[in-house]
Amino acid sequence: MPLTHIALRAGKPETFRQAICDSLHRAMHETFNVPEDNDFVLITEHEAANFRYDPSYLGIVRSDDLVFIQITANNTRSVEQKKALFSRIVELLGENPGLRSEDVFVSLVEVEKENWSLGNGVAQYAENIAASAVLHI
């Protein structure tokens, strides 16, 4: 159940923003086994004064096309899956909308499954955990 937040400089066309969403979802589907209908994304656009970054931290030369991507997901993936996700995101965003790999900044925030409520005030995944625990007693 990833929740993705994308932050970028203001002024990009809707097709550019949509391509980012589509490429990210595809990468998560392919590497994190995220279902096709599990698509929750927030996009925020920022004026230059409110979008700060170091243009050369760790020797990576970034431009004003930099995109910050923060993915909050269950802490159930292996290091190999995480590496595959990062690599696939860069590959797909390079294809569409044409971002340079240097301009893709990804942060993965992992949470316990019981920390989600997907609606109705119910911790849906916690219910599944509780039911599973009862079966294993």
pLDDT > 80? residue 129: no
Distance CA(70)–CA(110), nearest Å, equals 10
Residue from 2, 13, 55, 97 carrying the catalytic annotation: 2
Distance CA(73)–CA(105), nearest Å, equals 17
If you count them, how many residues does the chain have?
A: 137
Summarised one tens digit per residue, pLDDT across range 21-62 is: 999 999 999 999 999 999 999 999 999 999 999 999 999 999
pLDDT > 90? residue 124: no
Domain locations in the chain?
3-112
For the domain 3-112, what is the CATH code?
3.30.429.10
Distance CA(20)–CA(45), nearest Å, equals 13
pTM of the complete model: 0.88
Contact 26, 92 (CB under 8 A): yes
35 tagged catalytic: no
For residue 49, what are its two tokens? Answer: 């004064």
pLDDT of residue 42: 97
Summarised one tens digit per residue, pLDDT across range 96-122 is: 999 999 999 999 999 988 887 778 888
Residues with Cβ within 8 Å of residue 65, at least 6 apart in sequence: 8, 9, 99, 100, 103
pLDDT > 50? residue 137: no
